[in-house]
Amino acid sequence: MPQNFSRRPLLLLLTLGASNLHSLAAPTRRDASALIRAARTQLGVTHTYDGRYATMAYPGGDVPRHTGVCTDVLIRAYRDAFAVDLQKLVHTDMAAHFSAYPRTWGLKRPDPHIDHRRVPNLQTFWARKQAKLPLPSNEQDWQPGDIFTSMIHGKLPHTGIVSDRRTASGRWAVIHNIGQGTREEDALTAHLLTGRYRFLV
């Protein structure tokens, strides 16, 4: 009887310890609404588009917030919502697995000033992190916080975030910068969709 009694607290302690270790090790799903809110704060702040090469700090580098490209909407949103730095993540992965990334720009080595701002590099990074999802056959199957990529006029890669608001048409709005600053509008299917990603862990 005393032996059984002495074992119970030990077993309970071991069980609680294992549970706590599991909870620390298990990935925590982040809140898509936080990502959307962070992207929405850029409305009225980023009011121009500038695709020129720019040098910046590393990590945490950025161009002035009044300007940027489509990828900057995502980069800023992930930093503001989750303190996740895509500049550092992409650069680190490219440095370790450079051959897995596109050579479209004739690169011979990773460049932390620009690599994370290029849509094909983000697509490769997300696919490598198991964040790629099939393109839905029904537009209503997109979820708020999903990342979309598309091709404008068959030659210009583009990206943005699916909003949690619907437009007058009933379609999901997107938050993106397609040339006139960050906007929230009905544009998810305005151009040929090339990818869908959910990077919330």
Mean pLDDT in runs of 10 for the chain (201 residues)? 42 38 42 96 98 97 98 98 98 98 92 98 98 94 97 97 95 97 97 96 65
13 falls within a domain: no
Structural domain tally of the chain?
1
**Confidence at residue 4, expressed as pLDDT on a 0 to 100 scale:** 44
53 falls within a domain: yes
**SS3 of residue 189 by DSSP:** coil
Residue ranges making up the domain that contains 44: 28-197
Which residues have C-beta within 8 Å of that of residue 100, sequence separation ≥ 6? 124, 128
129 falls within a domain: yes
10 falls within a domain: no
Dihedral angle, C-alpha 159, 54, 64, 96, nearest 10 °: 60
- 99-103's contacts with Cβ under 8 Å and 24+ in sequence apart are 100/124, 100/128
Vertex 176, ends 41 and 29: CA angle to 5°?
70
**Confidence at residue 107, expressed as pLDDT on a 0 to 100 scale:** 87
122 falls within a domain: yes
CA 17/CA 32 separation, integer angstroms: 30
CA 193/CA 176 separation, integer angstroms: 14
87 falls within a domain: yes
135 closest CA partner among 148, 153, 122: 148
100 falls within a domain: yes
**Confidence at residue 29, expressed as pLDDT on a 0 to 100 scale:** 55
113 falls within a domain: yes
